[in-house]
């Protein structure tokens, strides 16, 4: 028996989404990498697990941080009783100024999406997760490192 593992990115390859602009922040769900696209294990960064509102959030980032590039995210809401109305992610500063907020898409056990790296990358940038529920909006940040080898 052969077991084949496909990246979540491949599942979204055919997706098409619109761009929504709000104030100074652009929210855009985006399509993921092409089918069969794979990343080296070294490119995955486990950014950690922490409480954001009523959720325990785990974030994995796939890719390097470079101006005007995109990186993929795999976000899990640990032991969530209900799904949020919307789950967003961005790279940058807390208020999202200069960044594009990507809306993550729910898959079987995780939420996935791609966020654009702002140009220039603000100093002390973090990965921000914003969770919208009927009760309101909460957000939390995750530290990241640039593992790109020059």
Task: Say if 84 falls within a structural domain.
Answer: yes
Using CA atoms, how far residue 13 sits from 36, 79, 125, in Å, is 10, 28, 28
Task: Say if 67 falls within a structural domain.
Answer: yes
Give the pLDDT confidence of 109-135 residue by residue, as tens digits: 999 999 999 988 898 899 999 999 999
* Other Cβ atoms closer than 10 A to 84: 23
Position 144 confidence tier, pLDDT thresholds 50, 70, 90? confident
Containing domain of residue 92, as a range? 8-34+49-142
Give the pLDDT confidence of 42-95 residue by residue, as tens digits: 488 999 999 999 999 999 999 888 767 899 999 999 989 999 999 999 999 999
Is the Cβ–Cβ distance between 101 and 114 less than 8 Å? no
What is the domain-level CATH number for residue 104?
A: 2.60.40.10
Task: Say if 44 falls within a structural domain.
Answer: no
Task: Say if 21 falls within a structural domain.
Answer: yes
- Domains: count for the chain: 1
Q: What's the pLDDT at 90?
A: 97
Q: pTM of the entire structure?
A: 0.70
Q: Could you give the CA distance from residue 69 to residue 39 in angstroms, rounded to a whole number?
A: 15
Task: Say if 2 falls within a structural domain.
Answer: no
Residues in a beta bridge with 55:
52
């Amino acid at each position: 028996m052969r077991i084949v593992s496909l990246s979540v990115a491949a599942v979204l390859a055919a997706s098409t989404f619109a761009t929504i602009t709000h104030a100074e922040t652009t929210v855009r769900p985006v399509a993921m990498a092409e089918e069969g696209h794979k990343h080296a294990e070294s490119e995955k960064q486990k950014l950690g697990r922490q409480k954001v509102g009523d959720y325990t959030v785990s974030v994995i980032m796939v890719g390097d941080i470079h101006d005007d590039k995109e990186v993929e995210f795999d976000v899990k809401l640990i032991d969530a009783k209900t799904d949020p109305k919307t789950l967003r992610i961005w790279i940058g500063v807390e208020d999202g100024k200069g960044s594009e907020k990507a809306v993550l898409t729910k898959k079987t056990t995780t939420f996935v999406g791609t966020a654009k790296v702002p140009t220039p990358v603000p100093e002390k940038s973090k990965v921000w997760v914003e969770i919208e529920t009927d009760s309101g909006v909460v957000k939390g940040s995750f530290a990241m490192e640039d593992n790109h080898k020059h």
